[in-house]
Protein backbone atom coordinates (compact mmCIF):
# COMPACT_ATOMS: atom_id res chain seq x y z
CA UNK A 1 0.00 0.00 0.00
CA UNK A 2 1.25 3.39 -0.90
CA UNK A 3 0.15 6.92 -0.36
CA UNK A 4 0.66 9.13 -3.35
CA UNK A 5 0.18 12.85 -2.97
CA UNK A 6 -0.70 13.02 0.70
CA UNK A 7 -1.52 16.73 0.46
CA UNK A 8 -4.33 15.96 -1.93
CA UNK A 9 -6.62 13.35 -0.38
CA UNK A 10 -8.72 12.91 -3.53
CA UNK A 11 -5.77 11.39 -5.36
CA UNK A 12 -4.89 8.84 -2.72
CA UNK A 13 -4.35 5.49 -4.33
CA UNK A 14 -4.47 2.24 -2.52
CA UNK A 15 -2.91 -0.52 -4.49
CA UNK A 16 -2.68 -3.93 -2.99
CA UNK A 17 -0.18 -5.93 -4.93
CA UNK A 18 -0.32 -8.94 -2.68
CA UNK A 19 2.60 -10.46 -4.43
CA UNK A 20 5.72 -8.76 -5.58
CA UNK A 21 7.57 -10.09 -8.52
CA UNK A 22 11.17 -10.76 -8.11
CA UNK A 23 12.14 -10.53 -11.71
CA UNK A 24 10.81 -10.20 -15.23
CA UNK A 25 10.53 -13.97 -15.73
CA UNK A 26 8.56 -14.26 -12.53
CA UNK A 27 6.13 -11.60 -13.71
CA UNK A 28 5.88 -13.07 -17.19
CA UNK A 29 5.11 -16.50 -15.81
CA UNK A 30 2.43 -15.00 -13.62
CA UNK A 31 0.78 -13.42 -16.66
CA UNK A 32 0.94 -16.66 -18.63
CA UNK A 33 -0.73 -18.45 -15.75
CA UNK A 34 -3.30 -15.75 -15.14
CA UNK A 35 -4.38 -15.75 -18.77
CA UNK A 36 -4.33 -19.53 -18.83
CA UNK A 37 -2.30 -19.67 -22.01
CA UNK A 38 0.32 -22.08 -23.26
CA UNK A 39 3.88 -20.86 -22.93
CA UNK A 40 4.47 -22.09 -26.50
CA UNK A 41 1.66 -19.97 -27.81
CA UNK A 42 1.69 -16.74 -25.86
CA UNK A 43 -0.70 -14.03 -27.09
CA UNK A 44 2.14 -11.57 -27.26
CA UNK A 45 0.12 -8.36 -27.71
CA UNK A 46 -2.04 -9.08 -24.65
CA UNK A 47 0.83 -10.18 -22.45
CA UNK A 48 2.98 -7.22 -23.50
CA UNK A 49 0.18 -4.84 -22.65
CA UNK A 50 -0.35 -6.40 -19.21
CA UNK A 51 3.38 -6.43 -18.59
CA UNK A 52 3.62 -2.70 -19.34
CA UNK A 53 0.65 -2.01 -17.09
CA UNK A 54 2.37 -3.74 -14.26
CA UNK A 55 5.54 -1.72 -14.73
CA UNK A 56 3.49 1.44 -14.78
CA UNK A 57 1.88 0.35 -11.54
CA UNK A 58 5.27 -0.22 -9.94
CA UNK A 59 6.30 3.29 -10.97
CA UNK A 60 3.13 4.79 -9.50
CA UNK A 61 3.91 3.00 -6.30
CA UNK A 62 7.41 4.40 -6.36
CA UNK A 63 8.91 0.95 -6.53
CA UNK A 64 12.29 1.13 -8.11
CA UNK A 65 11.83 -0.71 -11.38
CA UNK A 66 14.97 -2.72 -11.88
CA UNK A 67 16.73 -2.56 -15.21
CA UNK A 68 16.05 -6.18 -16.04
CA UNK A 69 12.30 -5.50 -16.02
CA UNK A 70 12.86 -2.83 -18.66
CA UNK A 71 15.06 -5.09 -20.77
CA UNK A 72 12.23 -7.62 -20.86
CA UNK A 73 9.75 -4.88 -21.71
CA UNK A 74 11.90 -3.91 -24.69
CA UNK A 75 12.23 -7.55 -25.75
CA UNK A 76 8.46 -8.02 -25.59
CA UNK A 77 7.85 -4.86 -27.62
CA UNK A 78 10.35 -6.02 -30.20
CA UNK A 79 8.77 -9.46 -30.49
CA UNK A 80 5.36 -7.85 -30.80
CA UNK A 81 6.52 -5.70 -33.71
CA UNK A 82 8.25 -8.62 -35.39
CA UNK A 83 5.03 -10.61 -35.17
CA UNK A 84 3.32 -7.86 -37.16
CA UNK A 85 5.72 -8.15 -40.06
CA UNK A 86 4.51 -10.23 -42.97
CA UNK A 87 6.03 -13.70 -42.98
CA UNK A 88 8.54 -14.18 -45.72
CA UNK A 89 7.34 -17.26 -47.58
CA UNK A 90 10.78 -18.05 -48.99
CA UNK A 91 12.40 -18.28 -45.60
CA UNK A 92 10.38 -20.99 -44.02
CA UNK A 93 12.89 -21.99 -41.42
CA UNK A 94 12.70 -18.61 -39.78
CA UNK A 95 11.59 -19.34 -36.25
CA UNK A 96 8.76 -17.85 -34.27
CA UNK A 97 10.02 -14.56 -32.77
CA UNK A 98 8.42 -15.61 -29.49
CA UNK A 99 11.03 -18.33 -29.04
CA UNK A 100 13.27 -15.64 -27.63
CA UNK A 101 11.18 -15.59 -24.47
CA UNK A 102 9.84 -19.13 -24.60
CA UNK A 103 13.22 -20.72 -23.94
CA UNK A 104 14.08 -18.68 -20.84
CA UNK A 105 10.53 -19.16 -19.59
CA UNK A 106 10.74 -22.89 -20.09
CA UNK A 107 13.98 -23.07 -18.17
CA UNK A 108 12.71 -20.81 -15.44
CA UNK A 109 9.56 -22.87 -15.08
CA UNK A 110 11.65 -25.97 -14.63
CA UNK A 111 13.56 -24.24 -11.85
CA UNK A 112 10.34 -23.16 -10.20
CA UNK A 113 9.15 -26.75 -10.16
CA UNK A 114 12.48 -27.94 -8.79
CA UNK A 115 12.35 -25.28 -6.06
CA UNK A 116 8.83 -26.35 -5.12
CA UNK A 117 9.94 -29.94 -5.00
CA UNK A 118 12.76 -28.98 -2.63
CA UNK A 119 10.32 -27.03 -0.48
CA UNK A 120 8.07 -30.07 -0.22
CA UNK A 121 10.82 -32.29 1.16
CA UNK A 122 11.12 -33.08 4.84
CA UNK A 123 13.35 -30.32 6.12
CA UNK A 124 15.73 -30.97 8.98
CA UNK A 125 14.85 -28.91 12.06
CA UNK A 126 11.46 -28.12 10.57
CA UNK A 127 9.79 -31.43 9.78
CA UNK A 128 12.28 -33.93 11.04
CA UNK A 129 14.69 -33.57 13.90
CA UNK A 130 17.92 -35.29 14.67
CA UNK A 131 19.96 -35.35 17.83
CA UNK A 132 21.81 -32.12 18.27
CA UNK A 133 25.29 -31.91 19.67
CA UNK A 134 25.24 -31.69 23.45
CA UNK A 135 25.80 -28.25 24.84
CA UNK A 136 29.46 -28.75 25.60
CA UNK A 137 29.98 -29.92 22.06
CA UNK A 138 28.15 -26.92 20.69
CA UNK A 139 30.25 -24.55 22.74
CA UNK A 140 33.44 -26.25 21.63
CA UNK A 141 32.27 -26.21 18.04
CA UNK A 142 31.39 -22.57 18.22
CA UNK A 143 34.75 -21.64 19.60
CA UNK A 144 36.56 -23.84 17.12
CA UNK A 145 35.34 -22.47 13.86
CA UNK A 146 34.25 -19.16 15.35
CA UNK A 147 31.92 -18.58 12.47
CA UNK A 148 29.73 -15.92 13.93
CA UNK A 149 27.66 -13.38 12.14
CA UNK A 150 25.90 -10.36 13.46
CA UNK A 151 22.31 -10.92 14.36
CA UNK A 152 19.67 -8.75 12.77
CA UNK A 153 17.06 -7.15 14.98
CA UNK A 154 14.39 -9.39 13.49
CA UNK A 155 16.18 -12.57 14.37
CA UNK A 156 16.65 -11.31 17.87
CA UNK A 157 12.99 -10.49 18.17
CA UNK A 158 12.12 -13.95 16.83
CA UNK A 159 14.34 -15.55 19.44
CA UNK A 160 12.77 -13.39 22.11
CA UNK A 161 9.25 -14.28 20.99
CA UNK A 162 10.15 -17.94 21.35
CA UNK A 163 11.34 -17.34 24.90
CA UNK A 164 8.19 -15.45 25.85
CA UNK A 165 6.08 -18.18 24.30
CA UNK A 166 7.87 -20.88 26.23
CA UNK A 167 7.66 -18.94 29.45
CA UNK A 168 3.94 -18.38 29.14
CA UNK A 169 3.37 -22.01 28.25
CA UNK A 170 5.31 -23.22 31.24
CA UNK A 171 3.76 -20.86 33.73
CA UNK A 172 0.09 -20.33 33.24
CA UNK A 173 -0.22 -18.10 36.28
CA UNK A 174 1.37 -14.79 36.99
CA UNK A 175 3.38 -14.18 40.11
CA UNK A 176 4.05 -10.69 41.28
CA UNK A 177 7.70 -10.32 41.89
CA UNK A 178 9.75 -7.40 43.00
CA UNK A 179 10.14 -5.32 39.91
CA UNK A 180 13.61 -4.47 38.83
CA UNK A 181 14.67 -1.59 36.66
CA UNK A 182 16.45 -2.02 33.35
CA UNK A 183 19.45 -0.22 34.82
CA UNK A 184 19.72 -2.62 37.72
CA UNK A 185 19.37 -5.58 35.39
CA UNK A 186 22.17 -4.25 33.20
CA UNK A 187 24.56 -4.13 36.10
CA UNK A 188 23.52 -7.67 37.06
CA UNK A 189 24.16 -8.91 33.56
CA UNK A 190 27.50 -7.16 33.34
CA UNK A 191 28.53 -8.93 36.53
CA UNK A 192 27.63 -12.28 35.06
CA UNK A 193 29.26 -11.54 31.71
CA UNK A 194 32.48 -10.41 33.34
CA UNK A 195 33.01 -13.85 34.76
CA UNK A 196 31.76 -15.69 31.69
CA UNK A 197 32.87 -13.62 28.70
CA UNK A 198 30.05 -14.97 26.54
CA UNK A 199 26.66 -16.51 27.09
CA UNK A 200 23.91 -17.98 24.98
CA UNK A 201 20.95 -15.66 24.48
CA UNK A 202 18.51 -18.17 25.94
CA UNK A 203 20.65 -18.57 29.09
CA UNK A 204 19.80 -15.01 30.07
CA UNK A 205 16.20 -16.05 30.54
CA UNK A 206 16.65 -19.35 32.28
CA UNK A 207 14.82 -19.46 35.57
CA UNK A 208 12.87 -16.32 34.84
CA UNK A 209 9.19 -17.06 35.06
CA UNK A 210 7.51 -13.68 35.22
CA UNK A 211 6.88 -11.94 31.93
CA UNK A 212 7.92 -8.58 33.32
CA UNK A 213 11.22 -10.03 34.37
CA UNK A 214 11.83 -11.45 30.91
CA UNK A 215 10.98 -8.17 29.24
CA UNK A 216 13.27 -6.19 31.53
CA UNK A 217 16.08 -8.59 30.71
CA UNK A 218 15.47 -8.26 26.98
CA UNK A 219 15.40 -4.46 27.23
CA UNK A 220 18.62 -4.59 29.20
CA UNK A 221 20.27 -6.64 26.45
CA UNK A 222 19.10 -4.20 23.78
CA UNK A 223 20.32 -1.26 25.83
CA UNK A 224 23.70 -2.88 26.33
CA UNK A 225 24.02 -3.58 22.62
CA UNK A 226 23.12 0.00 21.87
CA UNK A 227 25.82 1.34 24.14
CA UNK A 228 28.20 -1.22 22.64
CA UNK A 229 28.87 -3.02 25.87
CA UNK A 230 28.09 -6.29 24.19
CA UNK A 231 27.97 -7.86 20.77
CA UNK A 232 25.07 -10.09 19.79
CA UNK A 233 26.23 -12.75 17.38
CA UNK A 234 24.77 -15.83 15.79
CA UNK A 235 26.68 -19.01 15.13
CA UNK A 236 26.45 -19.87 11.44
CA UNK A 237 26.08 -23.63 11.75
CA UNK A 238 23.97 -24.06 14.86
CA UNK A 239 22.01 -20.82 14.72
CA UNK A 240 22.71 -20.28 18.42
CA UNK A 241 22.59 -16.62 19.39
CA UNK A 242 25.38 -15.69 21.72
CA UNK A 243 26.15 -12.50 23.61
CA UNK A 244 29.77 -11.42 23.88
CA UNK A 245 31.21 -8.97 26.34
CA UNK A 246 33.23 -6.38 24.48
CA UNK B 1 24.31 -61.11 16.16
CA UNK B 2 21.62 -59.65 18.34
CA UNK B 3 24.32 -58.01 20.35
CA UNK B 4 25.82 -56.41 17.26
CA UNK B 5 22.46 -54.92 16.49
CA UNK B 6 22.28 -53.17 19.84
CA UNK B 7 25.78 -51.84 19.36
CA UNK B 8 24.94 -50.37 15.96
CA UNK B 9 21.74 -48.94 17.40
CA UNK B 10 23.66 -47.35 20.27
CA UNK B 11 26.03 -45.70 17.81
CA UNK B 12 23.15 -44.32 15.80
CA UNK B 13 21.53 -43.01 18.94
CA UNK B 14 24.66 -41.31 20.26
CA UNK B 15 25.83 -39.77 17.01
CA UNK B 16 24.84 -36.24 16.14
CA UNK B 17 25.92 -36.56 12.52
CA UNK B 18 24.88 -39.14 9.93
CA UNK B 19 26.98 -42.28 10.44
CA UNK B 20 28.58 -43.87 7.43
CA UNK B 21 28.92 -47.63 7.11
CA UNK B 22 32.69 -47.07 7.03
CA UNK B 23 32.60 -45.27 10.34
CA UNK B 24 30.59 -48.08 11.95
CA UNK B 25 32.95 -50.59 10.39
CA UNK B 26 35.91 -48.78 11.91
CA UNK B 27 34.38 -48.67 15.38
CA UNK B 28 33.40 -52.31 15.30
CA UNK B 29 36.80 -53.27 13.90
CA UNK B 30 35.29 -55.50 11.31
CA UNK B 31 35.48 -55.84 7.56
CA UNK B 32 31.99 -57.16 7.26
CA UNK B 33 30.16 -54.34 5.52
CA UNK B 34 27.38 -56.60 4.46
CA UNK B 35 26.21 -57.51 7.94
CA UNK B 36 26.34 -53.86 8.99
CA UNK B 37 24.12 -52.99 6.05
CA UNK B 38 21.79 -55.84 6.94
CA UNK B 39 21.52 -54.63 10.51
CA UNK B 40 20.78 -51.09 9.36
CA UNK B 41 18.04 -52.36 7.07
CA UNK B 42 16.61 -54.49 9.86
CA UNK B 43 16.59 -51.58 12.28
CA UNK B 44 14.91 -49.32 9.75
CA UNK B 45 12.23 -51.93 9.16
CA UNK B 46 11.70 -52.48 12.87
CA UNK B 47 11.21 -48.76 13.53
CA UNK B 48 8.67 -48.57 10.74
CA UNK B 49 6.85 -51.72 11.78
CA UNK B 50 6.68 -50.63 15.41
CA UNK B 51 5.56 -47.16 14.39
CA UNK B 52 8.29 -45.53 16.46
CA UNK B 53 8.57 -41.76 16.88
CA UNK B 54 11.76 -41.83 14.86
CA UNK B 55 12.96 -43.53 11.71
CA UNK B 56 16.32 -44.43 10.25
CA UNK B 57 17.05 -41.92 7.54
CA UNK B 58 19.60 -42.54 4.86
CA UNK B 59 21.03 -39.10 4.51
CA UNK B 60 24.17 -37.39 3.21
CA UNK B 61 25.93 -40.68 2.59
CA UNK B 62 25.20 -42.04 6.07
CA UNK B 63 22.49 -43.11 8.46
CA UNK B 64 20.78 -40.99 11.08
CA UNK B 65 17.90 -41.38 13.49
CA UNK B 66 15.36 -38.67 12.83
CA UNK B 67 11.99 -37.92 14.32
CA UNK B 68 8.98 -38.66 12.18
CA UNK B 69 7.64 -35.73 10.16
CA UNK B 70 4.16 -36.58 11.46
CA UNK B 71 5.34 -35.43 14.90
CA UNK B 72 6.63 -32.07 13.68
CA UNK B 73 3.95 -30.10 15.45
CA UNK B 74 5.35 -31.26 18.79
CA UNK B 75 9.04 -31.65 18.05
CA UNK B 76 9.19 -28.06 16.87
CA UNK B 77 8.18 -26.89 20.32
CA UNK B 78 11.26 -28.48 21.78
CA UNK B 79 13.60 -26.03 20.14
CA UNK B 80 13.99 -22.50 21.36
CA UNK B 81 15.19 -21.17 18.03
CA UNK B 82 13.36 -21.48 14.82
CA UNK B 83 15.48 -22.24 11.77
CA UNK B 84 15.63 -19.35 9.36
CA UNK B 85 13.13 -19.79 6.56
CA UNK B 86 14.30 -20.22 3.03
CA UNK B 87 12.73 -17.66 0.74
CA UNK B 88 11.53 -18.56 -2.71
CA UNK B 89 14.56 -16.76 -4.12
CA UNK B 90 16.80 -18.93 -1.97
CA UNK B 91 15.00 -22.13 -2.98
CA UNK B 92 15.18 -21.28 -6.66
CA UNK B 93 18.85 -20.44 -6.44
CA UNK B 94 19.44 -23.63 -4.50
CA UNK B 95 17.53 -25.67 -7.07
CA UNK B 96 19.66 -24.27 -9.88
CA UNK B 97 22.86 -25.03 -8.00
CA UNK B 98 21.70 -28.51 -7.04
CA UNK B 99 20.80 -29.47 -10.59
CA UNK B 100 23.36 -27.57 -12.63
CA UNK B 101 26.46 -27.68 -10.46
CA UNK B 102 29.22 -26.75 -10.91
CA UNK B 103 27.60 -23.48 -11.86
CA UNK B 104 28.63 -19.85 -12.22
CA UNK B 105 26.81 -16.95 -10.66
CA UNK B 106 26.18 -15.54 -14.13
CA UNK B 107 24.45 -18.80 -15.15
CA UNK B 108 22.22 -18.66 -12.09
CA UNK B 109 21.30 -15.06 -12.75
CA UNK B 110 20.65 -15.82 -16.39
CA UNK B 111 18.21 -18.58 -15.46
CA UNK B 112 16.38 -16.58 -12.82
CA UNK B 113 16.57 -13.26 -14.65
CA UNK B 114 17.56 -11.38 -11.50
CA UNK B 115 20.61 -10.53 -9.45
CA UNK B 116 21.45 -13.35 -7.02
CA UNK B 117 24.42 -11.87 -5.14
CA UNK B 118 22.61 -11.46 -1.83
CA UNK B 119 20.96 -14.86 -1.97
CA UNK B 120 24.24 -16.59 -2.79
CA UNK B 121 25.91 -14.83 0.09
CA UNK B 122 23.25 -16.01 2.54
CA UNK B 123 23.36 -19.59 1.28
CA UNK B 124 27.16 -19.60 1.53
CA UNK B 125 27.03 -18.17 5.03
CA UNK B 126 24.61 -20.85 6.12
CA UNK B 127 26.84 -23.52 4.66
CA UNK B 128 24.18 -24.89 2.31
CA UNK B 129 26.28 -24.17 -0.77
CA UNK B 130 30.01 -23.92 -1.21
CA UNK B 131 32.60 -22.64 -3.62
CA UNK B 132 33.94 -25.52 -5.69
CA UNK B 133 36.68 -23.54 -7.35
CA UNK B 134 37.27 -21.01 -10.04
CA UNK B 135 36.66 -21.29 -13.73
CA UNK B 136 39.34 -20.59 -16.26
CA UNK B 137 37.54 -17.62 -17.76
CA UNK B 138 38.27 -13.90 -17.77
CA UNK B 139 37.98 -12.70 -14.18
CA UNK B 140 38.33 -16.27 -12.90
CA UNK B 141 34.71 -16.46 -11.72
CA UNK B 142 33.75 -18.63 -8.76
CA UNK B 143 32.00 -21.95 -9.34
CA UNK B 144 29.27 -23.00 -6.89
CA UNK B 145 28.01 -26.36 -5.73
CA UNK B 146 25.89 -27.74 -2.91
CA UNK B 147 27.39 -28.90 0.38
CA UNK B 148 26.86 -31.94 2.55
CA UNK B 149 24.74 -29.70 4.74
CA UNK B 150 22.35 -29.32 1.81
CA UNK B 151 21.79 -33.09 1.73
CA UNK B 152 21.25 -33.14 5.49
CA UNK B 153 18.78 -30.26 5.41
CA UNK B 154 16.68 -31.71 2.63
CA UNK B 155 16.75 -35.31 3.75
CA UNK B 156 18.68 -36.53 0.71
CA UNK B 157 20.91 -39.58 0.53
CA UNK B 158 23.01 -38.08 -2.25
CA UNK B 159 22.61 -35.77 -5.21
CA UNK B 160 21.48 -38.65 -7.39
CA UNK B 161 18.44 -39.17 -5.21
CA UNK B 162 17.04 -35.83 -6.33
CA UNK B 163 14.20 -36.47 -8.76
CA UNK B 164 15.14 -35.67 -12.35
CA UNK B 165 14.01 -32.35 -13.77
CA UNK B 166 11.94 -34.28 -16.27
CA UNK B 167 10.02 -36.10 -13.54
CA UNK B 168 9.43 -32.88 -11.66
CA UNK B 169 8.24 -31.17 -14.80
CA UNK B 170 5.64 -33.83 -15.45
CA UNK B 171 4.29 -33.33 -11.96
CA UNK B 172 4.61 -29.58 -12.28
CA UNK B 173 2.39 -29.31 -15.35
CA UNK B 174 -0.51 -29.68 -12.99
CA UNK B 175 0.63 -26.61 -11.15
CA UNK B 176 0.60 -24.47 -14.28
CA UNK B 177 -2.86 -25.60 -15.27
CA UNK B 178 -4.21 -25.21 -11.76
CA UNK B 179 -5.76 -21.77 -11.83
CA UNK B 180 -6.60 -21.76 -8.12
CA UNK B 181 -2.99 -21.79 -7.11
CA UNK B 182 -1.79 -19.53 -4.27
CA UNK B 183 -2.53 -15.85 -3.96
CA UNK B 184 -1.99 -14.93 -7.60
CA UNK B 185 -5.66 -14.94 -8.40
CA UNK B 186 -6.81 -12.85 -5.51
CA UNK B 187 -4.55 -10.06 -6.72
CA UNK B 188 -5.63 -10.15 -10.30
CA UNK B 189 -8.93 -8.35 -9.92
CATH code for position B132: 1.10.10.10
B39: in domain: yes
My answer on whether B40 and B96 are in the same domain is no
Range of the domain at B137: 88-157
* List of chain B residues whose C-beta atoms are within 8 Å of the C-beta of residue A134: 16
Which of B89, B127, B153 is opposite residue A236, by nearest beta carbon? B127
Low-confidence residues in chain B, pLDDT < 70: 1-2, 172-189
B162: in domain: no
Angle at A179 between CA A176 and CA A183, to 5 degrees: 160
* Residue A203, helix vs strand vs coil: helix
My answer on whether B16 and B61 are in the same domain is yes
pLDDT at A173: 54
CA distance A171 to A144: 37
What is the count of structural domains for chain B?
Answer: 2
Residues belonging to chain B = 189
* Residue A21, helix vs strand vs coil: coil
For residue range A174-216, what is the model confidence (pLDDT) as tens digits? Answer: 555 566 788 888 888 888 888 777 888 888 888 777 778 888 8
Cross-chain Cβ contact B181/A33 below 8 Å: yes
Q: Is the pLDDT of residue A154 over 80?
A: no
Best CA proximity match to B149, nearest among B17, B15, B12: B17
Contact A11, A20 (CB under 8 A): no
pLDDT at B96: 95
Which of B66, B83, B172 is opposite residue A239, by nearest beta carbon? B83
> Hey, which residues does B8 pair with through a beta bridge?
none
Q: What are the counts of helices (DSSP H) followed by strands (DSSP E) for chain A?
A: 8, 4
* List of chain A residues whose C-beta atoms are within 8 Å of the C-beta of residue B14: 131
My answer on whether B108 and B60 are in the same domain is no
pTM of this prediction exceeds 0.95: no
For residue range A210-223, what is the model confidence (pLDDT) as tens digits? Answer: 778 888 888 888 88
Q: Which of B92, B155, B158, B185 to mutate to test the interface with A (most CBs of A within 10 A)?
A: B92
Cross-chain Cβ contact A159/B81 below 8 Å: yes
CA distance B112 to A26: 8
Contact B144, B120 (CB under 8 A): yes
B83: in domain: no
My answer on whether B70 and B120 are in the same domain is no
The more confident residue out of B83 and A32 is: A32
B40: in domain: yes
CA distance B97 to B83: 21
My answer on whether B43 and B99 are in the same domain is no
Q: Is the pLDDT of residue A88 over 70?
A: no
| Percent of chain A with pLDDT strictly greater than 70 | 76
Amino acid sequence: MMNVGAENPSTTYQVDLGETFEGPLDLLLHLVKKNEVDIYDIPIALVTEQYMEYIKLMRVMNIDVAGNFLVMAATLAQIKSRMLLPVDEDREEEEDPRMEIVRPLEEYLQIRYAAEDLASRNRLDLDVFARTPSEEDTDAGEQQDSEFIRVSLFELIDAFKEIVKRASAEHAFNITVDTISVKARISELVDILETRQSMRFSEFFEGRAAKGDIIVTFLAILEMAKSQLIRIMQHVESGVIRIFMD
Amino acid sequence: MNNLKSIVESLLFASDTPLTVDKIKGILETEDRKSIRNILTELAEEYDAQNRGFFLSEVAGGYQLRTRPECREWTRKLRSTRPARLSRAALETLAIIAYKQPVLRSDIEHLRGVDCGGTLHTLLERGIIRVLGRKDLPGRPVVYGTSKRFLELFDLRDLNSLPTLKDIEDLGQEWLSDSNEDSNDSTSS
